[in-house]
Amino acid sequence: MKKRKMMFCCLFLLIAMLSTAAVNNVSATKVFISYGTTQYLTDMGGSGELSVSGDVSSYIKNLFDSAGYTNFFDFWGTRDQQTQPNTVYNYAEWATRFRDTTVILYKGHSLPVTCPISCGNDHYGVYDCEGYNITGGETIKDYEIYNKIYDEGYGSHDFVFLWTCGAGDPSRLGSTSGSHGWGMCASWMGINNAATSLSDDGYDDPDGNDRCFIGFDYLSIWYTNSTNYSNWNYGHFIYYFYMHALQQYWTINMALDAASELTHGDDVLYEDTPLYGGYSIWDPRETPPVSVDSAMHVWGDGNLTIR
Ligand SMILES: [Zn+2]
């Protein structure tokens, strides 16, 4: 919910009481934006992950189209506006100014970035379209996103899902101070002390604040990884998640459960999956690769509806 809108709530109610005009036609404006990098080197997902990531992005965009969103943008990779730093910054600003609800999906990789003012906090970025260490390639930085939404009053980004490494760890959620933000969750959503402001288990203990962030504690699982049930993989999981989250009256939690049952087996709820309980995954950055533990992390309000 936009804070600016809430400030006008009392005035709006007063006008509504004084007027017999129906307000039923007032509808919220909603935007969905899908971003993603195209850099999947052999040891970082590879061509199969690249292909599935692109497909899933376009399928999910179509779900938001069918659900009647005001805008639904597939900016994955090189499509349309492209996943470039300025695209992300400018659309964060635009969405905050002009849209009541903003839903973001990013698929790719994270990395630490340097603070321009040496604030002493940890900053993070995500890969742009071309990826890391490519000529002309740049990183999408947390504080740059916050700069843009801060100027607009922030608060329209109600659901941000970063399918990337580490953004869901409590130490990486970040915070804000004045016009400066650090950590992807705090910066994109404009939340001070995000790890304590949001419920740290939005699935089991939703905080009722109508805002939700999903990330991974450490390494995100690949879309192409099998769920070990039938022929399903985690690309199917996220597709079915959005499909159900966009059903009328369905919550994030109900959609997580539905996607879990479809891709992990009958009567398997989200809390029964390795996403919630934790999984082991090879860290490709090590030579030889080592097995590390990670999990998906739902922050805030799993009872949020995005339809
Ligand atoms: Zn800083």
CA of 248 relative to ligand 1 center, distance in Å: 40
Tell me, yes or no, whether 19 lies in a domain. no
pLDDT tens column, 2-24: 544 444 444 444 444 444 334 44
**CATH, residue 107:** 3.40.50
Both tokens of 241, joined, read 């998640």
64: Cβ contacts below 8 Å, ≥ 6 apart: 32, 72, 103, 242, 246
Q: Calculate the CA 236 to chain-centre distance.
A: 17
Tell me, yes or no, whether 178 lies in a domain. yes
Specify whether the CB–CB gap between 38 and 77 falls below 8 A: yes
Residues composing the chain: 307
pLDDT tens column, 114-144: 999 999 999 999 999 999 877 666 899 999 9
CA of 217 relative to ligand 1 center, distance in Å: 21
Tell me, yes or no, whether 130 lies in a domain. yes
Tell me, yes or no, whether 146 lies in a domain. yes
CA of 302 relative to ligand 1 center, distance in Å: 29
Tell me, yes or no, whether 276 lies in a domain. no
pLDDT tens column, 49-87: 999 999 999 999 999 999 999 999 999 999 989 999 999
Query: Cα dist. 298→114, 170, 205 in Å?
Result: 27, 11, 10
CA of 181 relative to ligand 1 center, distance in Å: 7
- For the chain, percent of residues with pLDDT exceeding 70: 91
CA of 178 relative to ligand 1 center, distance in Å: 11
Q: What is the DSSP string of 175-192?
A: EEETTEEESHHHHHHT-T
Domain of 93 in residue numbering reads as: 28-224
CA of 179 relative to ligand 1 center, distance in Å: 10
Q: What is the DSSP string of the chain?
A: --HHHHHTHHHHHHHHHH--S--TT----EEEEEEE-----TTTTHHHHHHHHHHHHHHHHHHHHHTT-SEEEE-STTSTT-S-HHHHHHHHHHHHHH-SEEEEEEES-EEEE--TT--SS-EEEEE-SS-TT-TT--EEEHHHHHHHHHHTT---EEEEEEESSSTTSGGGS-EEETTEEESHHHHHHT-TTHHHHS-S-TTTS--SSS-EEEEESSSPPPTTSB-SSTT-BHHHHHHHHHHHHTSTT--HHHHHHHHHHHHH-TT--GGGSHHHH-EEEEETTSSS-EEEEE-EEEEE-TT----
- What is the pTM assigned to this prediction? 0.91
CA of 157 relative to ligand 1 center, distance in Å: 21
CA of 121 relative to ligand 1 center, distance in Å: 5
Once rounded to an integer, what is the mean pLDDT over residues 246-254?
Answer: 97
pLDDT band at 239 (very low <50, low <70, confident <90, very high): very high
Tell me, yes or no, whether 216 lies in a domain. yes
* Phi (first) and psi of residue 88, to 5 degrees: -65, -45
Q: Calculate the CA 183 to chain-centre distance.
A: 13
pLDDT tens column, 203-234: 999 999 999 999 999 999 999 999 999 999 99
Once rounded to an integer, what is the mean pLDDT over residues 246-253?
Answer: 97
Tell me, yes or no, whether 132 lies in a domain. yes
Tell me, yes or no, whether 18 lies in a domain. no
| Number of domains forming the structure of the chain | 1
**What is the per-residue pLDDT for 21?**
38
Q: Is the pLDDT of residue 159 over 80?
A: yes
Specify whether the CB–CB gap between 211 and 159 falls below 8 A: yes
**What is the per-residue pLDDT for 105?**
98
Once rounded to an integer, what is the mean pLDDT over residues 254-282?
Answer: 98
